[in-house]
Amino acid sequence: MIGKIHKQMSHDSWLFSKMATPEYTPFVFLLLLFQSSVWGFPSCHATKPGMLNVHLVPHTHDDVGWLKTVDQYFYGDRNDIQHAGVQYILDSVVDQLLKNPDRRFIYVETAFFYRWWKQQTDDMQNTVKQLVNEGRLEFVNGGWCMSDEATTHYSAVIDQMTMGLRFLNDTFGHCGRPRVAWHIDPFGHAREHASMFAQMGYDGFFFGRLDYQDRNRRMVAREQEMLWRASESLTPPMADLFTGILPNGYNPPEGFCWDQSCDDPPIRDDPDLEDYNVDDVVTRFLHIAHGQALVYKTNHIIMTMGSDFQYENANLWYKNLDKLIRYVNQMQSNGSEVNVLYSTPSCYLQELHRANLTWPLKGDDFFPYADSAHDFWTGYFTSRPALKRYERISNSYLQTCKQLEVLGGPISRKGPFGAGDSETLKKAMAVAQHHDAVSGTEKQHVANDYARKLANGWAHYCQTVTELLLVRTTYSLSTLLSLSLSISLYPSLSLSISLYPSLSLSISLYPSLSLSISLYPSLSLSISLYPSLSLTPSYSLYPSIIISPSQSFSPQPSSLLSLCASIVTLRDFLSSLFCVCLSRYNASDGNNSESIQMSGAYIFRPNTSTPFIISKTAKIETLQEVRQWFSPWVSQVVRLYTDSRALELEWTVGPVPIGDDLGKEVISRLDSSINSSGVFYTDSNGREMLQRRKDYRPTWNLRQSEPIAGNYYPINSRAYIKDDKDQLTVVTDRSQGGGSIQDGSLEIMLHRRLLYDDVRGVGEPLNEMSDIYPEGLVVRGRHLLSLSPPATAADTHRPLAQEVVLQPLITFTDGELHPSTRLEFSGLQAVLPPAVHLLTVSQWDQDTVLLRLEHQYQASESKEHSQPVTVNLQVSEKPLPKRGGDPSVWEVSLKPMEIRTFLLRVRQR
């Protein structure tokens, strides 16, 4: 059955003590309770039993950057690129809602609404509050943006959702709280997103895009609405979420678009006019409604009446929708059983709940997404790899600085070196989660703008926090390492280094410093692995097809440069044999002639599948690390640090050559002797691992038309293959696409440079260049490889992935440390249990701190750590009195994959 519409959030309370420090007065942290009262639906129009009720949902889809920057979209600038101005949409919608109390509208992107709200007068703000209170203007989703689901890390998604929902709550109270998640445009859907939405208390989730084969099957079976069981670890219904697939993506039915950007004729209802068309409009609408009802399960169907940046002139839409509702409903007197009404997703969901039906169950995710046989949207898993890495680094920096701001107390937010505008980086990071931002599917000038906003955020927030806490005070809130360097060119130079790891666990650091000379830490190229396991890392590329969409094409063999480095033996030493292989790939589709499209920002469409080795040569250099040059534009450094849990492969790719007029997609492939039997595993947004099987989908019989692109999945932080004895895990430093095309193999796409657009809207090829890289973008990154028995592999890859995501903040200052500097400090009295991750510590307001703890292991993946764990938060140097003598007041229990959020009120003693 469908889960409860209203989820009651759990309430916890305890005292939490902050450790006393020389600078700060001791505080007591008191939990603020989240109250969740039952929210009714007084604003929903009545439906009619026994009739087909058609819920019309007026909406606009406002990308927080895509073809234009977020600023250009808001102000309506650069309409030569795309006509869109969000501020005018909100102006016009509010005006039209006031003219007819029956009308409804939903709004999604809080980033835009926040800007608009700040510009309104008090009278207008009060008017909008009234519209919200009456349910005539309803917020759905409510995050700062509509995030991408393939390339976003869960910690950043939670942050951007928190930012948007907090603004709505602070501004509109309970009536502003979204009850429905609304991801109508992301290009595939992650199970972890559904799990997060369920845990946030959403009642349902609606989206528009899914694989064309999956949709066709679901339409026939009437399974376009389901219960998504979005976690294998959390006890149902904790991660259960009702999920619905919208009928037209997120567009109106064909022929019923009445925006200024639409070409459909208006409803002409003057019977004295020759072009009177009411009868035709009603007939067509009834036909569409009855057809849609055949592929859904209840006597309620939903129609999205709007699209990209529509309702700038809301009068056009509402005037025609008013007429549509009136004239269709008039047909009921002639025996029609169709009832049309203004509605919202939450009102529609309420009617589905009242139907009291049994819904099909969904347990996997909705990747990969394809909209036709040869168009798999798997290229964007890797598109713009530099931006993807910059976003990931920015997230790490933000989490660190939020912790430092809390630990620093009020002094960190005051004075000339205070934190300043902490919202700058938070908002930049929130915008970067948009499904045309970190996804890499925006125009180049927009990608530049996202990066610029992140850089400005660093300058406004983190720079001042670290300057205050790590340099300007004699009491440092970090673990300090004083390192004095004597260099012949600068004999008097003394350098102090501050290290602040934001992780609540012990880590090992292997920094590489460069200051006139290069300083390498002691390296030991010894490794203890399984002597029976062989491993071959290689670099290859897929050429993209040169063809226009309208042409017919018979795939032909094309050249492929395959660059490989074979590690022959991994035992007590590292013995390497390196080679360069020039290979040729056969076409994937035999002799079939088909109309196809090229790779682009969204789509991955290679015309190759099988490599053939032609020659073997290589250039290597062994110092305290192994350096490999496969070509002038592909190199790799192999490092294995003493006592390290992983082998580091630092790759550098670019500029990708295009002199042969072929776009290229560069991959790193790891071939091993592991018997993976066509199965591999990828993470979902950095959290739970999902099983993938080659040429297989769990919910329908796949007709595989793209053996490479159709087997690619998002890898946000790690992927692995395994057999009964061994598990090879690769931890990535950014989101990338990858798959296991051959048994025992993992391939991960590193870089893409393409010469043609893939005709999905962005309108330009993915060919990144700049003043720094006029010949093409150069990208560097890391893969960490670990080999373990499957039963203990998670004990390594779980903390390893967190270390890569949340890297220590390293700051430098010249001169000796002040004698009174405390060289070591921890915000915790003790390291948290290995299963517990300190997800968020952030200043909420002047007297309140937000704390999130999570259990970072899945059920059954670790014998040692996949168990419920209890954390005692009494970490002060001096114990505080226990309330009522109850020791449990200090304890927080976490089950596998559970996240718990608390607001702690800081009260001065």
* Active site (catalytic) residues: 185
Alpha-carbon gap, residue 793 to 786, rounded angstroms: 8
Which single residue is written with the structure tokens 């798999």?
A: 376
- Find residue 626's DSSP bridge partners: 622, 638
Alpha-carbon gap, residue 383 to 735, rounded angstroms: 9
The single-letter code of the amino acid at 127 is T
Edge-to-edge strands, sheet with 574-585: 574-585, 558-570, 535-543, 664-672, 745-753, 736-739, 713-715
- Cβ atoms of residues 510 and 521 within 8 Å: yes
- Cβ atoms of residues 384 and 151 within 8 Å: no
Tokens standing for 685? 């947004």
Count of beta carbons in the 10 Å neighbourhood of residue 101: 12
Q: Which of 728, 698, 358, 367 is nearest to 530 (CA)?
A: 728
Q: Which of 381, 312, 355, 324 is nearest to 88 (CA)?
A: 312
Residue 648 dihedral angles phi and psi, to the nearest 5°: -100, 125
Q: Which of 50, 101, 100, 103 is nearest to 332 (CA)?
A: 50
* Ramachandran assignment for 839, one of left (phi > 0), alpha (psi -120 to 50 degrees), beta (any other): alpha
The single-letter code of the amino acid at 766 is L
- Cβ atoms of residues 525 and 573 within 8 Å: yes
- Cβ atoms of residues 604 and 712 within 8 Å: yes
Strands 619-622 and 626-631: antiparallel
Contacts of 225 (CB under 8 A, 6+ apart): 242, 243, 244, 245, 296, 297, 352, 359
Q: Which of 199, 164, 82 is nearest to 431 (CA)?
A: 164
Question: 3-class DSSP state for residue 452?
Answer: helix
Count of all residues that appear for the chain in the document: 909
The single-letter code of the amino acid at 22 is P
Tokens standing for 340? 């049309």
Contacts of 467 (CB under 8 A, 6+ apart): 417
- Find residue 498's DSSP bridge partners: 480, 811
> In sequence order, what DSSP letters do the residues of 104-128 get, joined into one string?
-EEE--HHHHHHHHHTS-HHHHHHH
Instruction: Name the burial class of residue 168, with classes exposed (0-12), middle (13-18) and buried (19+) by CB atoms within 10 angstroms of its CB.
Output: buried
Residue 431 dihedral angles phi and psi, to the nearest 5°: -65, -35
